């Protein structure tokens, strides 16, 4: 594939245009109901103990179940430290973790029973999350307290497995076999609110919103960088979910900060559920792989996304798209507006052939397809016809976005049969060390858009420019 590098500054000065008017659907996102009963259930009354060694899972779950059977209400903790495995919030229940309450995740995999779910775009069995809302309506997880998942036991397992899997040509499946524990899972639910909590040290993704609708995540703080060895500790993943509002959140993690997903390859195309009608506003991304990332799981399509009033500080990528030639789906009608990014690696990174060692699954010689696990078979199942696996991206609107101190302005890699098209940049600017490159992009429009480059061409030639190094992400 011949690469076409940008060699001139893109600066088109036309008459100023007004701010982008939010689409009409924006006002309809988010949870519209909240548990109304004020009846309080204290977990300590059911046997929970403030103790760093006592496992309070059964007592806390009993309090939740009692609350639900009584018509709903609030489940609370006395001030203290509580260790627990998987908890399951029920309909009409608010689990409130107040200030001066610290929840510690159990470090025993046996405390996380396996359930049917979806991980990284594939439906499979997997440990339940630390806190789960599955098949519920009108439920909430709130409070000013802290949930520390203590995920190192998951990270250690993963890195040990990576050593062996890489040698065998199995990079593509180790993430699925490691079965690391998520912190919060919302699945097949509606009218759910997650508010104000601080989450630390996720074993895997922090908050996954899966197959659900009318969701609000407000005021959440995520801190997954206390130990930089934690892989794939995404912040918030919206996964084949709709009518979702994420606002006032602050994420510092080791992978994508705010991420939109919709299934992977053959299995994702089979399920065919989009992520759509999502608003992300007034949020901060600190360290992490992407302020806003779309993909790499794009099979069910990602569309009608409105991102506004966002801040990035030292994040790897600003606006990011990633997919692969086996994913399929369309990423479209995305607004990225009114935002400020500083010291990101890549301002705009779009790649439709992302991370081949992870993205493409091939069973090595010596393995029998009939004897490997079901999720292996799902991953190696070929998309037919192959054209169905081609992803498409179109109709992006970037307005009033200021990016300073980036290492690279553009890293754009479309496909010969799927160009990245109709991207509109208005009233925006980028300052970066190098301009970058574009491959297979068409119908890009720039209005009052300025790119300023600090590194001279001879310096770029001498240093080879600045290339992204993937940190084993998905």
pLDDT beyond 80 at 74: yes
Which is nearest to 242 in space by CA: 278, 195, 193, 194? 278
Q: How sure is the predictor about 167, in pLDDT bands with cuts at 50, 70 and 90?
A: very high
pTM: 0.94
Residue pair 318/291 in contact by the 8 Å Cβ criterion: yes
Domain count, the chain: 1
β-bridge pairing 236-239 and 207-210: parallel
What is the model's pLDDT at position 445?
98
β-bridge pairing 250-252 and 221-223: parallel
Q: How sure is the predictor about 19, in pLDDT bands with cuts at 50, 70 and 90?
A: low
Mean pLDDT, all residues of the chain: 93
138 vs 10 pLDDT, higher one = 138
What is the model's pLDDT at position 16?
38
Cβ partners under 8 Å of residue 91, min gap 6: 68, 72, 136, 137, 138, 139
Domain that holds residue 457: 4-463
Q: Is omega for the bond preceding 385 within 30 degrees of 0, making it cis?
A: yes
Half-sphere exposure of 262 (CA within 13 A, CB side): 29
Which is nearest to 291 in space by CA: 339, 257, 264, 255? 257
Q: Is omega for the bond preceding 296 within 30 degrees of 0, making it cis?
A: yes
Round to whole Å and give the CA distance between 285 and 222.
Answer: 10
Question: CATH no. for residue 291?
Answer: 2.160.20.10
Residue percentage of the chain with pLDDT more than 90: 90
Q: Is residue 19 part of a domain?
A: yes
Q: Is residue 130 part of a domain?
A: yes
Q: Is residue 368 part of a domain?
A: yes
Q: How sure is the predictor about 455, in pLDDT bands with cuts at 50, 70 and 90?
A: confident
Round to whole Å and give the CA distance between 380 and 384.
Answer: 12
Per-residue model confidence as pLDDT tens digits over 230-266? 899 999 999 999 999 999 999 999 999 999 999 999 9
- Mean pLDDT of the 405-427 span: 98
What is the model's pLDDT at position 9?
39
Q: Is residue 470 part of a domain?
A: no
Q: Is residue 471 part of a domain?
A: no
Q: How sure is the predictor about 406, in pLDDT bands with cuts at 50, 70 and 90?
A: very high
Q: Is residue 301 part of a domain?
A: yes
Cβ partners under 8 Å of residue 388, min gap 6: 269, 328
Residue percentage of the chain with pLDDT more than 70: 92
- Mean pLDDT of the 332-358 span: 97
pLDDT beyond 90 at 388: yes
């Amino acid at each position: 594939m011949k690469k076409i590098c940008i060699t001139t500054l893109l600066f088109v000065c036309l008459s100023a245009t007004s701010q982008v008017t939010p689409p009409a659907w924006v006002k309809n996102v988010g949870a519209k109901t909240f548990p109304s009963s004020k009846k309080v259930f204290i977990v300590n009354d059911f046997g929970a103990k403030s103790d760093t060694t006592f496992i309070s899972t059964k007592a806390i779950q009993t309090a939740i179940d009692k609350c639900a059977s009584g018509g709903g209400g609030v489940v609370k903790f006395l001030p203290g430290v509580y260790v627990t495995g998987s908890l399951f919030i029920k309909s009409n229940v608010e689990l409130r973790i107040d200030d001066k309450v610290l929840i510690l995740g159990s470090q025993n995999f046996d405390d996380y029973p396996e359930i049917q779910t979806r991980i990284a775009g594939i439906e499979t069995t997997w440990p339940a999350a630390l806190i789960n809302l599955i098949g519920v309506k009108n439920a909430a997880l709130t409070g000013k307290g802290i949930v520390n998942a203590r995920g190192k036991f998951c990270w250690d397992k993963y890195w040990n497995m990576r050593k062996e899997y890489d040698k065998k040509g199995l990079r593509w499946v180790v993430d699925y076999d490691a079965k690391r524990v998520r912190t919060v899972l919302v699945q097949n639910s509606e009218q759910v609110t997650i508010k104000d909590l601080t989450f630390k040290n996720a074993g895997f993704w922090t908050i996954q919103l899966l197959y659900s609708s009318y969701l609000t995540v407000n005021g959440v703080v995520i801190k997954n960088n206390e130990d930089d060895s934690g892989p794939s500790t995404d912040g918030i993943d919206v996964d084949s979910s709709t009518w979702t509002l994420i606002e006032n959140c602050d994420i510092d993690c080791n992978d994508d900060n705010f991420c939109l997903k919709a299934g992977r390859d053959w299995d994702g195309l089979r399920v065919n559920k989009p992520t759509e009608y999502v608003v992300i506003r007034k949020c901060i991304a600190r360290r992490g792989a992407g302020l806003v990332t779309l993909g790499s799981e794009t099979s069910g399509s990602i569309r009608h996304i409105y991102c506004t009033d966002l801040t990035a500080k030292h994040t790897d990528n600003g606006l990011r798209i990633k997919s692969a030639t086996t994913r399929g789906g369309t990423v479209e009608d995305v607004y990225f507006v009114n935002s400020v990014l500083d010291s990101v690696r890549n301002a705009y990174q779009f790649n439709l052939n992302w991370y081949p060692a992870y993205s493409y699954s091939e069973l090595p010689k010596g393995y029998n397809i009939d004897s490997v696990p079901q999720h292996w078979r799902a991953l190696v199942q070929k998309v037919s016809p192959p054209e169905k696996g081609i992803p498409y991206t179109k109709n992006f609107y970037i307005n009033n976005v200021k990016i300073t101190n980036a290492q690279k302005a553009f890293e754009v890699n479309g496909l010969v049969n799927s160009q990245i098209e109709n991207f509109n940049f208005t009233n925006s600017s980028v300052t970066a060390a190098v301009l970058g490159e574009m491959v297979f992009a068409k119908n890009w429009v720039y209005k009052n858009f300025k790119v300023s480059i600090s590194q001279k061409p001879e310096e770029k030639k001498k240093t080879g420019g600045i290339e992204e190094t993937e940190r084993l992400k998905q």
